[in-house]
Amino acid sequence: MNALAQFAHDEKLLADLEETYKDIHQHPELSMQEVRTAKIAADFIEALGYEVTREIGVTGVVGVLRNGNGCTVMLRADMDALPMEENTGLPYASTVRAKDEDGIDVGVAHSCGHDFHTTWLMGAAHVLAHHKDAWSGTVVVVFQPGEEEARGAAAMVNDWDDKRFPRPDIILGQHVMVGPSGTVMYRPGVILSAGDSLKIRLFGRGSHGSQPQTAIDPVIMAASTTMRLQTIVSREISPLDNAVLTIGALQAGTKENIIPDEATIKLNVRTFDDDVREYMLSSIRRICCAECDASNAERPPEFTTISSYPLTENDEAATQRVAVAFAAHFGEKAYETKPASASEDFSIFGRTWNVPYVFWFVGGTDPDVFARAKKEKQINKIPSNHSPKFAPVIDPTLETGLQAMLTAASAWLSEKQEA
């Protein structure tokens, strides 16, 4: 068993962390509004002896623990929840409602698992602080806001104090996902897709529905654009490359006999290669502009980026180092996985600083439920991240995630040598 991970099997610690997890789950906060969660994390690690700095990147927290010579390891967790109602039926389910940045009243739920991420990092910080005789080096723990809006990592990087915070040699992070609880899944290279969300306004000329000749109909323009955009993946991207283009919203008009002035398309793109990503984004602009020209629109379309996530592309050598540590600790319960089409802003830290990073998944599904679904070929029916019914099991997910973070960190944190 890993020298640090062995301390994760502490019944008192796990019981305390479970209560913390349930508390955070029951009190979720929207992106860049994580004031309560950040205070819980900051107060916790400050009491452990970490040098704590609050309000980095709005609500982010950075803790530094120095323990002799060695590598500097950064451990990161995201804290924010989603603007959606929970429907898990759990006794500690969220009933929170809040105002989003547009002032709209929304339900709030930890339906992506960031409550687990925060709790895991708090647990890892606890073990590292209480067992300094088992390792040497420097640990930087980062509680990040705003991952769901692709804002938090960039905000923290922009607010980073190089004089106060040591630059890491390695950056490590993890995410709870659908998969048998008790398992850990890793991958060298690309593990998460890039994600780009755009809002596109198409401008026509409004008129009475009985006089279409006096109008430039943005509804027709939007419908044609929607259909043509679907051909990018099917006819312009190689079948050997993976890409997804989803139009999640098409909005126009208020009444059946009024031709509106404009229409709005909101779309999302997922890609696994930077060249494919750039081609997709270029093609979207080309098609939207061409359809507007074809409709004789008096104004070109207006493009607004809603969010933009880079590829999460694990460093090959660093991932191999983690994989060796995982194999030694977890055995067959740690294995290589395929890339996921979800996206993360975690890699912004490593990309900005030119520091290697490794990101992996921790299974959160009841093993019996997963095995039955796999046998029946119905894994896709298991409520996944962002589902209102997403509910990872606490045992053994809580302990497994804590062990995984400590095991990976120990691959860089030297064991203390006898004098």
Pick out the residues of the known binding site for Mn(2+). Answer: 112, 114, 148, 175, 386
**The token pair that represents 86 in the structure block:** 């929970």
Structure tokens at 289: 């502009």
Bridge partners of 365? Answer: 180
* CATH class name, domain 194-308: alpha beta
5-193+311-410: CATH superfamily:
Zn peptidases (3.40.630.10)
The ranges of the chain with pLDDT < 50 are 417-419
pLDDT in the model for residue 102 = 87
Please report the pLDDT score of residue 419 as a whole number: 40
Instruction: Give me the residue spans of the domains in the chain.
Output: 5-193+311-410, 194-308
Per-residue pLDDT at 253? 97
Terminal alpha carbon distance of the chain: 24
Which residues carry a binding-site annotation?
112, 114, 148, 175, 386
Residue 373 near residue 381, CB atoms below 8 Å: yes
Give tens-digit pLDDT for 102-115.
Answer: 899 999 999 999 99
The string of pLDDT tens digits covering residues 75-134 is 999 999 999 999 999 999 999 999 998 899 999 999 999 999 999 999 999 999 999 999
Q: Report the relative pairing of strands 137-144 and 72-78 from DSSP bridges.
A: parallel
Predicted pLDDT of residue 416: 61
Alpha helices by DSSP H, listed for 256-390, are 274-294, 316-330, 347-353, 367-375
* pTM for this prediction: 0.95
